[in-house]
């Protein structure tokens, strides 16, 4: 009789850890054990084949498209190298506060550790002394090496049109949003221009727009309910933060000005269906490669005057952007593009596989109980992978069902910190949870979520 690989692995696991399993059986129900078994197997998959791009890509795409075929994931487990400790291994782990409020992309650390010297740079003490990088460029503090790698990466991924665009570099996309608002506003207007975004919108938009109390612009809320005549600026986030859906502008009036925030339009999060082609698009290293600490973002701007005004804002704000950060970012982007083009360890294939495994485990955990519900996504053809893939956003937009009215507060009682729907202009029954934390924290979250459903 042929025994599936998953059962052989489970049997081996029981033999090796029999005493510990005996103790766990007294604590966990059968349902909980099934969830933990699936967690183990998905953890193993995400550690497999670190050097095989072709296998990695096939596993990633198949896992994403067939997110409900649990046996596909379980049967691929062939090693115990990815086993992490359970809550019984470390005293106090059940009391740990799991903070998933921020989208800190620490899950990428393992990949970049494997890359080693490929992304290491040495900056001599005499380098980067001048404020100026290239005075012939609209953005005079833009390092040419970084600009070249930005264009190359977009061409490799196919997610943005770069021809006839001016690149403006910023200290993360947050600074670029403010620069764009400044550039699109008129100092001669009788009143501040209204800034809107369709709910649920990125929770920081209202505070970013209003914290300076500028006379140039002001937050006007949900774009769906905006009915004021005159000019306006609409922030379009696609894929959207927090719910992961692809977005288009919703106001669609003649005097509207659009800012497209495309921080998550990368193949590990969503199918790349076509190159984005907008007047003003924003991207960031933090979500594309996971290097949030570099504080580097860039804008692709069609109108030269808008690019000049954005550059002026950054000049007044920080007198340019760190050259050292741009040089390091250029090195990282080059490594990503090289990996995609030369058949080496592709960052996007690796990241897609990792995200697919996490979403699969999450869905399996939630389906065991009726306390929570998850958003559903439709697969689309991804031009980067060359086949259909399913969205797997950087954030979970979790709904608490039944009588739970405050999902954020409910999870907080169980020591899970999230960001409630009210911060996004949505219902308090919804809350946003980061999917980008370390593997250890993510598995702790899955275990905690499983325990909560059993208690209820």
Cβ count within 10 A of residue 190: 6
Residue 67 contacts residue 376 (beta carbons within 8 Å)? no
pLDDT of residue 95: 82
Determine the pLDDT at residue 344.
66
Q: Do 174 and 358 form a contact (C-beta atoms < 8 A)?
A: no
CB burial readout 96-126, b (16+ within 10 A) else e: eebebbebbbbbbeebbeebeeebeeeeeee
Instruction: For residue 408, give the nearest of 362, 363, 439, 372 by alpha carbon.
Output: 372
pLDDT of residue 89: 52
- CA–CA dist 118, 121 (Å, integer): 9
User: What is the total residue count of the chain?
Assistant: 456
DSSP E strand boundaries for 210-330: 217-222, 232-237, 256-261, 280-284, 297-301
According to DSSP, the residues that pair with 432 across neighbouring strands are 397, 419
Token pair belonging to 320: 């340019």
Beta-carbon contacts of 165 under 8 Å, excluding residues fewer than 6 positions away, are 300, 301, 302
203's CB contacts (< 8 A; 6+ apart) are 242, 419, 423, 424, 432
Q: What is the pLDDT of residue 2?
A: 44
pLDDT at 454: 82
Domains of the chain: 5-100+345-455 (3.90.1150.10), 116-342 (3.40.640.10)
CB atoms within 10 A of CB 349: 25
Tokens describing residue 44: 């193993």
Q: Are 450 and 35 in contact (CB under 8 A)?
A: yes
d(CA 445, CA 415): 10
Q: Work out the angle at residue 123's Cα, subtended by the Cα atoms of residues 121 and 126, and round it to the nearest 5 degrees.
A: 165
What is residue 93's predicted lDDT score, i.e. its pLDDT?
Answer: 72
Burial class (CB in 10 A: 0-12, 13-18, 19+), 95: exposed
SS (H, E, C) 221-254: EEHHHCCCCCCEEEEEECCCCCCCCCCCCCCCCC
Q: Is the pTM of this model over 0.85?
A: no
What is the predicted pLDDT for the residue at 304? 98
Q: How do 372-373 and 395-400 pair as beta strands? A: antiparallel
Two tokens, residue 157: 């991924």
The β-bridge partners of 99 are 417
Say what the pLDDT of residue 437 is. 98
Strand partners, 281: 260, 300
3-state secondary structure of 143: coil
Give residue 108's Cα distance to chain centre.
11
Q: Quote the pLDDT of residue 369.
A: 82
Q: Say if residues 107 and 354 touch (Cβ distance below 8 Å).
A: yes
- pLDDT less than 70: residues of the chain: 1-92, 344, 456
């Amino acid at each position: 009789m042929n025994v599936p690989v998953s059962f052989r692995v489970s049997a081996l696991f029981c033999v090796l850890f029999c005493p510990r399993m005996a103790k766990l059986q007294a604590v966990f129900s059968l349902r909980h054990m099934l969830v933990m078994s699936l967690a183990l197997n998905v953890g193993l998959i995400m550690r497999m084949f670190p050097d095989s791009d072709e296998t990695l890509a096939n596993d990633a795409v198949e896992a994403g498209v067939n997110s409900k075929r649990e046996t596909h994931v379980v049967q691929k487990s062939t090693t115990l190298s990815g086993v992490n400790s359970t809550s019984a291994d470390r005293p106090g782990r059940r009391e740990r506060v799991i903070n998933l409020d921020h989208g800190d992309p620490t899950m990428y650390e393992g990949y970049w550790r494997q890359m080693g010297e490929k992304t290491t740079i040495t900056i001599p003490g005499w380098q980067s002394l001048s404020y100026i990088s290239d005075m012939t460029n609209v953005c005079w503090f833009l390092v040419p090496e970084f600009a070249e790698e930005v264009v190359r990466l977009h061409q490799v991924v196919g997610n943005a049109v770069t021809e006839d665009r001016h690149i403006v570099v910023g200290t993360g996309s947050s600074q670029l949003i403010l620069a764009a608002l400044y550039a699109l506003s008129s100092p001669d207007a009788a009143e501040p221009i209204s800034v809107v975004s369709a709910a649920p919108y990125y929770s920081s938009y209202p505070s970013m727009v209003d914290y300076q109390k500028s006379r140039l612009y002001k937050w006007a809320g949900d774009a769906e309910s905006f009915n004021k005549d005159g000019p306006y600026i609409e922030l379009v986030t696609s894929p959207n933060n927090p719910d992961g859906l692809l977005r288009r502008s919703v106001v669609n009036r003649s005097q509207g000005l659009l800012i497209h925030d495309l921080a998550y339009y990368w193949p590990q999060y969503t199918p790349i269906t076509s190159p984005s082609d907008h007047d003003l698009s924003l991207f960031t290293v933090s979500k594309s490669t996971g290097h949030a600490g570099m504080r580097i973002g860039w804008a692709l701007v069609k109108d030269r005057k808008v690019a000049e005004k954005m550059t002026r804002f950054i000049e007044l704000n920080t007198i340019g952007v760190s050259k050292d950060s741009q040089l390091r970012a250029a090195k990282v982007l080059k490594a990503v593009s090289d990996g995609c083009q030369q058949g080496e360890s592709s960052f996007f294939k690796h990241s897609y596989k990792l995200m697919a495994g996490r979403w699969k485990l999450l869905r399996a955990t939630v389906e065991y109980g009726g306390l929570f519900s998850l958003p559903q996504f439709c697969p689309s053809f991804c031009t980067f992978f060359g086949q259909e893939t399913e969205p797997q956003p950087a954030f979970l937009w979790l709904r608490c069902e039944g009588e739970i009215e405050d999902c954020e507060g409910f999870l907080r009682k169980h020591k899970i910190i999230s960001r409630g729907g009210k911060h996004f202009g949505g219902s308090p029954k919804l809350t946003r949870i980061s999917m980008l934390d370390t593997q250890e924290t993510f598995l702790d979250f899955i275990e905690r979520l499983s325990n909560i459903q059993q208690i209820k």
